[in-house]
Structure 1
């Protein structure tokens, strides 16, 4: 019989049986005077000791707001020092941080706040084209008349208050600068008691993933889940207190807050944010001027940096390692990253939010072909298997669905036991929805996605969610959304639309309609207006045929 498509990761690296707060404090005690956090666009620098002082101050302030263990605190902001401080302050008092995509618009924000039952929200004032204050004012029209902490809203019944990162927010917001003043209302002994009462298996984070049923699902992650995943990623990279990691990926993703922040705090490495959002020149100059040794990014970020006209003038010689993830990496891009950016030990990582996120990773010594044709082998202390439609493990080399089991698998989808039971079987296996093969050495190659997920520039987009959204347009009778290959972003979105009789809309009108209602990365680049969709004889839509037609018309033309 052929060897089955099942592997265990290395078992010689013990897992960390502690909370995020305990791990953070251990690092602070070891490296107090070393640099912990550099936020270039805010011109802020923290030693571990200074960062700990700010984290503890804001943790006590959050307790003073009435936040208890298990309560939810939303954060809706781009990368900044306050994001990092909030991540660790909330973890220290057992409050569950709810990551909210900075690109979300009003309807998405309302859904996430209500579904998670956030009691408080930390919000930026504005970011790019988004006016956060205005959107919150739209959701909460009586906000200006209500004191912070005494908010009452029928639309968001559990929300009690809003904290703004803007120094002069509108009425109804508590400014971040004043939040720290409340710390004195929490006795140090009460803060200490709260920390000591926490267990590492308790939830600490909710991250929303686009749902195949049209609504995002909140992957609920524990201290144990994400602390250990960040630790294992850092172990594979060989991180230490001498490493300086540039993190241009968003903190609201696991890539930023787990693989980045938690990977650093478990090894004493310096976290460096080059900007509030990715900018190739600012990232390159940050690497050069901060003498970074590690750099993270999705392939489109690395392509933008490699192709920037000022890159040859930058001294990137201190770079050693990093991770490219979020989409398939072209072999030429990997060659250039190794050769032109000095990242000889760059690695590929694969996973999903529901698995904290990384479940497969290449190693520093894997040859170039393995680093671009596979997603590596099973991470330490995890198991992987590939199964057929009956749930049986397939032989090596045969295609099937990839499943993961172990410490990294989420606690479940917040408030959604039905979706949890569909995703995680009774034996604890998480079904990824990705089709894969495993070779004789245990390396896994991703062959496709059986959930039709689109990955555009590292963002996961589920067609069903977009289809549900387009049905709310008065002219749209039916819609099908697919992804097609794109050299820059990996994939682009195509929406096939049928109009109601007597109705119509142009491509520009639909894109403008999307702009104010959904995140920019979910807006289709292409539209195709049709009378009918390709169908099977039994009446099922043939998305594969739609994809073939779209590629022929839009790429090969």
Structure 2
């Protein structure tokens, strides 16, 4: 098999071809491609000077900002294996990740200096490098970089070199560290350009979700094509809409929770979003009522959905604008052009057309396994290159892949398999329901009882009986909730997905 360019080669190519164009806008600053690339080169030399040799793992604890792109690129240029830490996690979770990933060095943003100090106290051998900050016995990486060479350091880069280790636990509670290489990360770039966003020099993409997650995979494709990456420190509907108008943003990437917040924002209609050509969403299923409302507001031609996971970013399947109608809104799309998909039963045999099975994927963008997890690797990555996703899906007569649910989320109640998303989609269509999550709780009679947690819209009142009847009128009666709990909020993971694990734990303890 012919190996394509490495991630490093794509970074250097973009820098050469678009030197004087604006590449990154963040924190009130604009960096040209040449400036961002020079900053990355200097940071790469600074990390080498701090003792980080090629292939070392370095933890990054930094929120979105003007240094985000140069720092990531610097790690690639120095051929380091970066381990991003989500700033929203607890110190105990960070310590666990640092320990399991065997990171001896932490690079931290100035707004996270207190957390860095806390981690240093818990792990005294941890070397901490600040970005415009320093701990008592540490160094300021930005200050070090000022005197470093402007050209990239020498690096013997190979396609199989691991350049990023991404922690993903989903909602299962099992920490997994997916490793992506120079080759697989370049393949992610090609996958996005080929299937989802053929960016051009006139494009600008707005990032408000953390760049350590899915949003960050769009940076390199835009860089390669000479487009702008506009980076916000976080998501709020007002600042997000203002940034679209100010920077004439052409593309955004949202999780469903963010889309719902935009639609609920009272100032939405007052903002000029006419530049917006592409609304990309994914990470978790979009409730049907929400996507229908979004299409009515923004227009069907703007919507692109991707289905993927950390182990196989970004697009396993894509729902294009022309497929955003009717029952096809329940689908997650057609297979990406560079991806193979199989659906298999519990014995590993391919299922018949129209039947459900576990989704297996083979792609150049697949991770090179999990770090230091031989048993998990054996369960997930097989000898023929197939990634076992643990997602359940089926193909319809039109070739669209429908995601039923994760095998771990499926509820078995009274002998029936019930997928939470189907019940959630039915509940969210009630006008009094703002948000909903469905889980299965242990039950002596049913084995698992379908339990829904509902957040009502402000000023709306609806009873459990009304909502149960509403669901029974939309889907099979055996799928209706045995119990509905009303709440002020539903727990989310650090990337905005429904946190079913935490929800189940709270309901079980109640």
Alignment TM class, shorter chain as reference: 0.7 to 0.9
Which of 188, 199, 203 aligns to 1:229? It is 188
**Secondary structure of the structure 2 residue equivalent to 1:179:** helix
The more displaced of 240-249 and 359-368 is 359-368
For residues 190-339 of structure 1, the aligned pairs below 5 Å read 191-194=152-155, 197-210=156-169, 214-235=173-194, 236-253=196-213, 255-258=214-217, 260-273=218-231, 275-339=232-296
Give the conservation status (yes or no) of the 8 Å contact 1:34–1:47. yes
CA deviations 1:18-75 (Å, max 9, x no partner) are 2222101111222222111111xx1111111111111111111111112122111111
The offset of 1:336, in angstroms, is: 4.1
Aligned to 1:104: 89
Unpaired runs of 5+ in structure 1?
A: 1-13, 127-131, 142-152, 455-481, 497-532
Residues 1:414 and 1:453: Cα distance change in structure 2 (over 3 Å):
farther
Residues 1:288 and 1:299: Cα distance change in structure 2 (over 3 Å):
same
TM-score, scaled to structure 1: 0.73
The offset of 1:16, in angstroms, is: 7.5
For residues 29-40 of structure 1, the aligned pairs below 5 Å read 29-39=16-26
Residues 1:336 and 1:316: Cα distance change in structure 2 (over 3 Å):
farther
Please state if 1:414 is matched with 2:371.
yes
The offset of 1:417, in angstroms, is: 1.5
CA deviations 1:148-201 (Å, max 9, x no partner) are xxxxx8x475x3x21223x454413323431313525xx95xx4431xx10122
Q: Partners of 2:260 and 2:172 in 1: how far apart? A: 33
The more displaced of 283-292 and 232-241 is 232-241
CA deviations 1:479-507 (Å, max 9, x no partner) are xxx999485896559898xxxxxxxxxxx
The offset of 1:348, in angstroms, is: 0.5
Residues 1:277 and 1:393: Cα distance change in structure 2 (over 3 Å):
same
The offset of 1:340, in angstroms, is: 2.9
For residues 171-190 of structure 1, the aligned pairs below 5 Å read 171-181=136-146, 183-184=148-149
Give the conservation status (yes or no) of the 8 Å contact 1:20–1:227. yes
Residues 1:436 and 1:544: Cα distance change in structure 2 (over 3 Å):
farther
Give the conservation status (yes or no) of the 8 Å contact 1:534–1:545. no
Q: Partners of 1:98 and 1:74 in 2: how far apart? A: 4
CA deviations 1:424-456 (Å, max 9, x no partner) are 1222111111111112332100012112299xx
- How many residue pairs are counted as aligned between the two chains? 445
**Secondary structure of the structure 1 residue equivalent to 2:154:** helix
Residues 1:61 and 1:139: Cα distance change in structure 2 (over 3 Å):
closer
Residues 1:288 and 1:366: Cα distance change in structure 2 (over 3 Å):
same
Aligned to 2:48: 63
Aligned to 1:10: none
CA deviations 1:236-278 (Å, max 9, x no partner) are 323111111111221121x1211x21231232221111x2111
Aligned to 1:74: 59
Residues 1:492 and 1:329: Cα distance change in structure 2 (over 3 Å):
closer
Please state if 1:86 is matched with 2:101.
no
The offset of 1:338, in angstroms, is: 3.9
**Secondary structure of the structure 2 residue equivalent to 1:284:** helix
Aligned to 2:483: 552
Considering Cα pairs closer than 8 Å and 6+ residues apart, tell me whether 1 or 2 has the greater RCO. 1
Give the conservation status (yes or no) of the 8 Å contact 2:45–2:153. no
Aligned to 2:340: 383
Please state if 1:345 is matched with 2:302.
yes
Q: Partners of 2:3 and 2:226 in 1: how far apart? A: 15
Q: Partners of 2:224 and 2:482 in 1: how far apart? A: 45
Give the conservation status (yes or no) of the 8 Å contact 1:225–1:356. no
The offset of 1:140, in angstroms, is: 2.8
Residues 1:139 and 1:177: Cα distance change in structure 2 (over 3 Å):
closer
Residues 1:271 and 1:394: Cα distance change in structure 2 (over 3 Å):
same
Give the conservation status (yes or no) of the 8 Å contact 1:359–1:382. yes
CA deviations 1:51-102 (Å, max 9, x no partner) are 1111111111111112122111111122112221111110112101111111
**Secondary structure of the structure 1 residue equivalent to 2:443:** coil
